[in-house]
Amino acid sequence: MNATLPSARVMSSRASGARLKRFEAKFAIEAAAASAVAPLPALTPSMPPVELFLFGPVCEALPTLQGSADSRDPLQRVKNVGSLLPPVAGERQKHRVHHLRFTFSPGLGSVDEKTGEWIPPEGNLLDQAAVSQAIDDVMGLLSSLLRCQPQPRLFGGLWSYEEGVSWHDFEGSELGGVFWTKGRAEACVDLRGGGCDRIGIERQMEFIRSMLAMGAKCRRVDTAWDDFVRVASMEQIHAACEVKNHSMYRAYKPVRDYRDVVPPTAENPTPTRELREDMVTLGLRGNWGSGRYVRIYDKFLETDKDPEWDCIRYEVENTDEVAEEAIKKLAECKNAVEFQTCIGGLVGGSLNFLERWKNGKYEKNLDRCKPLAWWTAVLSKMAAAGAIVLNISADYGTGPLSRGLKFCFKQFGKTLAMGDQVFAKAGIDFFKVLRAVFDKAAEKINPDEEGKRDLSLRLPELMGFA
């Protein structure tokens, strides 16, 4: 009788378990060796010291945050950030990093021992031993920061990665994970909202600097500000978005979900309902988006009316190039005050609510529009030092074709480049091939298709040409 072969997911889970056993053994050895060494200074007076058990030459160059109390006045202007207004008595607010995701290619390149900068490799050489070593290093770093041990993922890795391990809290919620594929140079580390909250601001700074020192690229960073005073109401925010009294985003989606508190009866056919979710989203995710996706929502309703979270959260999801620019700003911060101020600036710089209607006409010139009064009040508390606007359009030029170039690059740039190389080796003009493909594909564009508008007809608009 033929034995049933295990699925690829189960096999990848077993491989993750094997790596985990090797990691735990190595972790125990390093822990014993480090017991005779003085631990790192505590990052804050109230936080106990945590020893970092990092393995291999790669992590010897990783900077660690030698935490010391910063004596500067919070009102003093600081580099690239500005001044932070002191909290008003009785007003509670919270700046936070809510998600961090990095990809790193440890087998490609090295760290300069003198400058600590990442040196690109000569050629595209894969050093699998270095990849394995660096994955263990990152696992050791996360274990130290989260203060718990990882577990192999039951269903393997995440996204396109076949293997992985993850960290969980006592309730089973995932705090973060490291994911990889055997034979692939790139690996991924993902620290979720619970993990970010668990390690705190000072350790977030340490984690960011450590990953950048390894040459990692930030693929996502979520910054958020919680307004416990409710300077602006959700009704005001919805009203502004509905009449397009904002800039920077075309896509607006209101999310309002109700539930029946008292079900309908024969005597009273109209049920009693209450709001259980209230949210505004601006922008788009993925290749159609700009690298920013904004969520403004009532945290009190999301937590099922937990009094500890009676606030409105302004949350910005930065990805790709925008995330890389945002993480550079955060890495420049020298202490927790600067870090929180920078978070407020990044959130405030990703939003803009303006009076765009004048005498019944929609004003397109933003210089002629005044900020809405409630937005000015919100911005003064969220980003007291001033909004930080991340403008990455220079990467694709500043002309009318910049958005179209970005769209084409993200959608099929790598595919076209590989096709050009393949056809060039065969001595075939790739542009003639493309021309033939375009002519053939043009026959499939149907402007009269019943029931929907063909996506191809919207491309000029989506790419910024219309």
pLDDT digits (tens, 9 = 90+) for 357-385: 988 899 988 889 999 999 999 999 998 87
> Domain ranges in the chain?
9-68+106-214, 228-391, 402-462
Each residue of 286-299: pLDDT tens digit? 877 788 999 999 99
Q: 4: alpha, beta or left, given left = phi > 0 and alpha = psi -120 to 50?
A: beta
CA distance 308 to 238: 24
Q: Which range is least confidently modeled, 15-29, 36-50, 124-138, 215-229? A: 36-50
Query: Could you tell me what percent of the chain has a pLDDT over 70?
Result: 66
Once rounded to an integer, what is the mean pLDDT over residues 230-241? 96
pLDDT tens for 83-136 read 233 333 345 568 999 999 999 875 555 556 666 555 555 544 456 677 788 888
Higher local confidence (pLDDT), 15 or 325: 325
Inform me whether the pLDDT recorded for 20 exceeds 90. Answer: no
- 166 pairs with which residues across the strands? 151, 177
* pLDDT at 10 (0 to 100): 42
Contact 213, 61 (CB under 8 A): yes
Query: Does 46 or 239 have the greater pLDDT score?
Result: 239
* Average pLDDT value over all residues in the chain: 74
Residue 221, pLDDT > 50, answer yes
pLDDT band at residue 21, thresholds of 50, 70 and 90? low
Quickly count: other Cβ atoms within 10 Å of residue 128's Cβ.
Answer: 12
Question: Confidence class of residue 188 from pLDDT cuts 50, 70 and 90?
Answer: very high
Backbone angles phi, psi at 162, to 5 degrees: -85, -25
| pLDDT tens sequence across 398-413 | 555 666 676 677 677 7
Whole-model pTM?
0.68
Element (H, E) at 346: helix 336-348
